[in-house]
Amino acid sequence: MPVLHLEMLPGRTLEQKRAFVREVTRVTVETLACPPESLDVVITEVPRDAWAKAGKLIADA
């Protein structure tokens, strides 16, 4: 049972998330030869004040 975790900043629309999940499921099923029902995709939105890059919070950029 594959489980894919995606962490990203907030701001994508529900339709963008739907499209992502649809496409990543399609590619995973083709690549791993597993049924779509066995695949879980977890999207976690991390607030800008909880994500840092190059030593700086993204909220401060």
Neighbouring-strand partners of residue 53:
56
Query: pTM value?
Result: 0.86
Distance CA 24, CA 42 (A): 11
Which residues make beta-bridge pairs with 5?
Answer: 42
Averaged pLDDT for residues 22-50: 97
What pLDDT score was predicted for residue 61? 85
Mean pLDDT of 27-44: 97
CATH code, 27:
3.30.429.10
CB–CB of 1/38 below 8 Å?
Answer: yes
Task: At 57, list the tokens.
Answer: 């919070």
Residue 2 annotated in active site: yes
Range of the domain at 41: 3-60
**Backbone angles phi and psi of 13, in degrees to 5:** -80, 165
Domain count for the chain? 1
